[in-house]
Structure formats: structure tokens, C-alpha cells
Amino acid sequence: MSYERLIYLADTDAAGVVYFAHLLSICHEAYEFSLAQFGINIKDFFKDSPVALPITQAEIQFFRPLFCGDQIQINFTARSLSENEFQLQYKIYLAEIMVAKAKTRHVCIDPTARKRIPFPESLKNWLGYLSTLEETGI
């Protein structure tokens, strides 16, 4: 799955480059974009939902700086770790050079009880769909 994005002024800081934490937010946009593309209503998904998908771990590595106006491409893949946990991997490219990579790990919980619950059907289908894309190399 691929997501394209212009780097905006708000993504940068006074050091002249993208502020480190903002690139993780941009990776999360790619994930949301993919859910929306798959037909999942992300409003229902993230707000007042019987299911929440909090991030338990995130990490990012930077190989080259990114600047305002850069047009980046994020390729990401998803992997189920169990019936209630998945991991996303993001590779961030600028003109075909990988400039950063990131990972986020998510658990599926009941947001009221804050206990783990199995993925809802829609998420299971989305995870399956992403795996298929990966196998076929799209």
C-alpha cells in the first residue's frame, strides 16, 4: 500500500527539516488513508467505537533529512501478531531513496474496560487485504 504526501511548513521546525515526531504522524496518516480506501469509516473507528486500537510501541529511524516541499511516498505493510495485535511497517521514500523507516504496534481493546478483544471483522479483512497486496508485490 502506498501513500503520497507533500511536506508542509507545519511539518518542519527551526532546524529547517521535518520535526522527528511529525514523520510518525505522517505514517499514521498513511494507515488511516488505507483504512478509508478500504471502505472503513474511520470516524466510527476512532471515536465512540466499541473497539480502540491504541499504539503500544512506535519507532522510527532517519537516514536523510526531509524539507518543506519534498514529495514523499510511504510504502507500508501490515502483519497480524495475534488475534488482537498487529504491526505496521512504513518505508518513507523521496525520489526512490529510502529516507526513513518506521514501525507501529497496535492492540485491539474494548476502550471502556481497556481489555484486549479480538479484531472486528472489518479490520481482519483489511489486514488480510494488505497481506495479499504484499504477496502479489503491489
User: Judged by CB, which is closer to a copy of itself: 3, or 130?
Assistant: 3
44 is annotated as an active-site residue: no
Q: Is 68 exposed, middle or buried (0-12, 13-18, 19+ CB in 10 A)?
A: middle
3-state secondary structure of 109: strand
> Residue 128 is inside which H or E element, if any?
helix 121-135
Q: Taking Cα atoms as reference points, which of 55, 39, 38 lies closest to residue 102?
A: 55
Residues 18-77 that bind a copy of itself (CB under 8 A): 19-22, 24-25, 28-29, 32-33, 36, 41-48, 52, 54-62, 65, 67-70
- Tell me how many degrees the CA angle 111-117-123 measures, rounded to the nearest 5: 90
Residues 5-24 that bind a copy of itself (CB under 8 A): 6, 8-10, 12-17, 19-22, 24
Residue count at the site for a copy of itself (CB under 8 A)? 47
Residues 91-130 that bind a copy of itself (CB under 8 A): 104, 111, 114
For the chain, the 3-state helix, strand and coil shares in percent, each to the nearest 5, are: 30, 40, 30
- Give the binding site for a copy of itself (CB under 8 A): 6, 8-10, 12-17, 19-22, 24-25, 28-29, 32-33, 36, 41-48, 52, 54-62, 65, 67-70, 104, 111, 114
